[in-house]
Amino acid sequence: MNRQTHYPSYDVMNEKDEWDDHTQSIVTSRLIRKSDYQFLTLEETELLKRICSRLMDDDREEVISFVISHIDQTLSAGIGEGQRKVGIPKSQILIREGLRSLEETATKRYLFGFTQLNADQQKQLIREISEKKTAQGLEWEAIMPADFFKKLMDLTVESYCSHPLVWSEMGYGGPAYPRGYVRTQMGQLDPWEAQPENE
């Protein structure tokens, strides 16, 4: 997390009372940390936290913990995946096997588990799996590294970008009902939107 937001004093949650009740309850619940996971084991949870932090370049516990609970919930709820490429295992197997294989690769190469590696080593391993379309090494027998990466990235991105802290940093206006937008000409802002701050 090197670069800073363009909108350091903007907090999208300041406006939550302006949102409809349903949206309020959905978004507010993302700020409550959950730790009772249905699908993920303790080891998988710790490993995933590390990986997801690297994927988004963000170590903040409150944000990453929402990402993990979203992944756990998705994998345990049994909701369809929308689509799955022929030959790729179901998401539950893909994620579980992927984590296991990544951990094995880490141990083989560095003699330590993934979470114990330094940042550069972790990033190097992720880079390799993200671009690798063919299995290499026995530990990746069951699945293709890039398939695992893609599924994990999808789950991570959709939850990370649904966290209000991230919305605030992006300068995203967030929920807008019942209020809507009044000033929509180029360069115009409604008073409650993120205001550009001198950088």
Partner 1 sequence: MNRKYANEVVDVVIVGAGAAGGVLAKELSEHGMKVVVIEAGPLRDPQKDFASDELAMKNLGWQETRLVDGQNPLRMGHNNSGKGIGGGTTHFTGVFLRFHDVDFQAKTIDGVGEDWPISYDDLAPFYNKIEKEIAVSGPKYFPWGNYHGPYPYPEREPLSPNAYMFQNGCEKLGIESVVAPLAILSAPFEGRPPCINRGFCNQGCMPNAKFSTLIVHIPKAIQAGAEVLSDCMVTQILMKEDGRAKGVEFVYDGQTYKQEARIVILSAFVVENPRLLLHSATPTFPEGLANSSGWVGKGIMPHSSHDVYGKFDYEIRLYKGTPVLATTQAFYRTDPERDFARGYTLHAHGVRPVAFARGISLSSQKKPIWGEELRNILLDYNYYGRITLVGEVLPHANNHVTLSDEVDEYGIPRAKVTFSYGENDKKLIQHAVQKMKDIIEAAGGTPEFVIEDTAHLMGGCRMGNDPSTSVVNSFGQTHDIPNLFICDASIFVTSGAGNPTNTVMAIAARTADYIKDQASKMEI
Binding site for partner 1 (CB under 8 A): 1-6, 19-20, 22-23, 26-27, 54-58, 70, 79-86, 123, 126, 130-131, 149-150, 153-154, 157-162, 166-167, 169-182, 184-188, 193-194, 196
44/193 with CB nearer partner 1: 193
CA distance 62 to 10: 18
Cβ at position 178, least distance to partner 1 in Å: 7
In the complex with partner 1, the residue whose CB is nearer, 55 or 106, is 55
As measured in angstroms, the least distance from the Cβ of 168 to partner 1 is 11
Sorted by sequence, the CB contacts under 8 Å of residue 23 that are 6+ apart come out as: 175, 177
**Both tokens of residue 134?**
């063919």
d(CA 13, CA 165): 8
Comparison of 45 and 91: residue with beta carbon closer to partner 1? 91
- Minimum CB–partner distance for residue 94 and partner 1 (Å): 12
Least separation in angstroms between CB 144 and partner 1: 13
> Is 46:53 a contact under the CB 8 Å cutoff?
no
Question: Which residue, among 11, 10, 8, 14, has the nearest Cα to 198 in the 3D structure?
Answer: 8
Q: Do residues 92 and 81 lie in contact, with contact meaning Cβ atoms separated by under 8 Å?
A: no
Q: Pick the closer one to partner 1 by CB: 180 or 191.
A: 180
Q: Kindly report the length of the chain.
A: 199
Contact 48, 40 (CB under 8 A): yes
Q: How far is the CB of 116 from partner 1 (least distance, A)?
A: 19
